[in-house]
């Protein structure tokens, strides 16, 4: 008889995509492991950025705006047209941008830690400071992930490690 997997799903990477997947699955009662190479989560990512809209995050964490750590809402937008030797900028500032909260400026080190905490609260196990080395595949079937010679088993592995290769 085949041994039971340790987890229903393993998620690699605790960025916005990975934590969202972990929160959704853990909330539905699945036994989820979320593995992040940075300790704490967010400290190996681009330092900050704009969280646009937030409607998708609302589906994952209802009422997120009242709890999430963000620095301020976006109050201006600029579009630049570059030529070989010139730049034309169109700068748009409006109180309406802030009132409608079309974007939130976030620091990833703060936001990702908060998201990871939400994943824990939803019931996921979160391990940070561990880089997944490879997906374990036997006979063409995913069996889990490997790190430091250890195999952590799961029939489902979600790779949410972002666009930048680990380093």
Residue numbers at the binding site for ligand FAD (CB under 6 A): 12-18, 35-38, 44-46, 49-50, 52, 131-132, 160-162, 164, 166
Least distance to ligand FAD from the beta carbon of 15, Å? 2
Q: Is the dihedral of CA 126, 128, 130, 133 positive or negative?
A: positive
CB nearer ligand FAD, residue 85 or residue 163: 163
Least CB distance from residue 121 to ligand FAD, whole Å? 19
Name which of 66 and 134 has its Cβ closer to ligand FAD. 134
In the bound complex, what is the minimum distance in angstroms from residue 82's beta carbon to ligand FAD?
Answer: 17
Closest to ligand FAD by CB, 29 or 165: 165
Question: In terms of CB distance, is 92 or 166 closer to ligand FAD?
Answer: 166
The least CB distance from residue 2 to ligand FAD, in Å, is 26
The span from the CA of 41 to the CA of 60, in Å, is 18
- Sequence-distant contacts of 38-41: CB under 8 A, at least 24 apart: 38/14, 38/112, 38/128, 38/129, 39/128, 39/129, 40/109, 40/112, 40/113, 40/116, 40/128, 41/14, 41/112, 41/113, 41/115, 41/116, 41/126, 41/128
């Amino acid at each position: 008889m085949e041994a039971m997997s340790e987890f229903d799903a393993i998620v690699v990477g605790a960025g916005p995509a990975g934590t969202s997947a972990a929160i959704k699955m853990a909330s539905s009662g699945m036994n989820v492991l979320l593995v992040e190479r940075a300790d704490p989560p967010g400290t190996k990512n681009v330092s900050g950025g704009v969280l646009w809209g937030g409607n998708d995050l609302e589906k994952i964490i209802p009422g997120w705006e009242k709890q999430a750590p963000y620095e301020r809402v976006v109050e201006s937008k600029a579009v630049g047209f570059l030529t070989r030797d010139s730049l034309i900028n169109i700068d748009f500032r409006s109180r309406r941008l802030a009132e409608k909260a079309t974007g939130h400026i976030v620091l990833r080190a703060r936001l990702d830690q908060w998201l990871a905490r939400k994943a824990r609260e939803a019931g996921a196990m979160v391990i940070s400071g561990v880089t997944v080395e490879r997906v374990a595949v036997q006979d063409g079937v995913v069996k889990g992930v490997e790190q430091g010679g250890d195999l952590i088993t799961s029939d489902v592995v979600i790779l949410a490690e972002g666009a930048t290769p680990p380093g």
